[in-house]
Amino acid sequence: MAEATPPNMVRVTFLPDRKTFEFEHGKLRYQDHGKPGSILDIALNFGLHLEHACGGNCACTTCHVVVKKGNELLSEMDDEEADRLDMAADLQLNSRLGCQAVIQKPGELVVEIPAWNRNYVSEGSH
């Protein structure tokens, strides 16, 4: 069992590789793709490749992730994200676009990069 997350800390685990990153909430440098503090922004901050063909502008679904734990930590899904997600492969109840889902409070988040998108991860630059 994992340790409790310290106050004001965010712990994000990306599956299937089980890569976990911790940082102080609100303290990451913005990486210019997706919304600041988004799952995509966090991945880029820590050198984890998460495909984002449109540059994180909510114009595609390549940064689609499935939230396994911590959905309550994330911003509400807006209509634009919901409309775009309707076109995503392997859509699930807890699907989000990594570029749009912003961590709004500290805690633990677990997200899975869907199987169809893993080839992008293995072929992407690190």
DSSP codes, 17-62: TTEEEEEETT-SPP-SSSSTTBHHHHHHHTT-----TTSSSSSSST
Average pLDDT over residues 38-53: 95
Alpha carbon distance 114, 6 (integer Å):
29
Average pLDDT over residues 82-107: 95
- Residue 5 has what pLDDT? 61
- Residue 4 has what pLDDT? 67
What's the one-letter identity of residue 126? Answer: H
Domains present along the chain, CATH in parentheses: 11-123 (3.10.20.30)
Average pLDDT over residues 87-113: 95
Q: What percent of the chain has pLDDT over 90?
A: 78
Residue 98 backbone class (left: φ over 0; alpha: ψ -120 to 50; beta: rest): alpha
Token duo for residue 8: 């004001």
Q: What is the pTM of this model?
A: 0.87
